[in-house]
Amino acid sequence: MKKLCSYILPLVALLGASCKKDNFDPPQARLHGRLVYQGEGIPGEFNQVPFQLYQFGFGKVGPVSNTTFTQEGSFSVLLFEGEYKLTIPNGQGPFLWKKQPNGQPDSITVQMKGDQQLDLEVTPFYMIRNVQMAAAANKVTATFGLEKIVTGADGKNVERVNLYINKTAFVSAGGDYSIASSQRGGGAITDPANISMEVTVPALVPAQSYIYARVGLKLQGVEDMIFSPVTRINL
């Protein structure tokens, strides 16, 4: 009993206390939101459009968080409380982000104290409007319109539009992300407000009775594509 008091209890107490001391809490404040234009979300390509969070005063350069938007155009990060600056690097994303007079991307100051929702208002070069998808006779048909948002010197021309289909909800050009696609060059589009495309559904192995589809728009001189929301279609 004496042994217990004199050795073991203090030891246990010490261990308990040191655990508390050595570890600090993981980041718990959640910053989340999405890319919007006049209240409407801007879907992008999975893992392609990045945003960065910087925090000053730690003696290092470089972002503390460097990750990407989801294909719905939303984001979510867990942070320690404090002051951050959020930005989107130059040349990223199919939209215009505010710039400083010297050409560097502007940033948004974010005070993290508890969870926070932050929608990022940007100006996309185009919007894909009135998307309608239908499946018939082993073909997926999409009708949609393109609305040019940015005009003038910063305006971009259409390079091509694609209709992608995939077995999973990740739909874009990459190897894992489309099982078939059809393409139309910018020159072959007569009426941007009313485009119709179709793609043949290949044999699905293993079979499934539905498919995911969406339309992508590639602009000249812009690396990232603009997408319509992913639609699930029953075959």
Candidate residues 55, 68, 76, 116; the one interacting with another protein per rule CB under 8 A: 68
The beta-strand segments (E) located in 149-230 are: 158-166, 180-185, 195-200, 210-219, 226-227
Is residue 91 near another protein by the rule CB under 8 A? Answer: yes
Is residue 62 near another protein by the rule CB under 8 A? Answer: yes
How far is 231 from 215, CA to CA, in rounded Å? 10
The beta-strand segments (E) located in 38-101 are: 40-41, 50-54, 65-68, 74-79, 82-87, 95-96
> Which bin fits 93, alpha (ψ -120 to 50), beta or left (φ > 0)?
left
Is residue 200 near another protein by the rule CB under 8 A? Answer: no
Number of residues that bind another protein (CB under 8 A): 23
Nearer to another protein, 20 or 60 (CB): 60
Nearer to another protein, 145 or 174 (CB): 174
Is residue 28 near another protein by the rule CB under 8 A? Answer: no
171, amino acid identity:
V
Candidate residues 66, 157, 196, 200; the one interacting with another protein per rule CB under 8 A: 66
Is residue 61 near another protein by the rule CB under 8 A? Answer: yes
Classified as helix, coil or strand, 6 is: helix
Cβ-based burial of 160 (10 A; exposed 0-12, middle 13-18, buried ≥19): middle
Task: Return the range that interacts with another protein (CB under 8 A); candidates 9-17, 61-69, 107-115, 184-192.
Answer: 61-69
Interacting residue ranges for another protein, rule: CB under 8 A:
50-52, 59-62, 66, 68, 89-92, 103, 173-178, 181, 221, 223
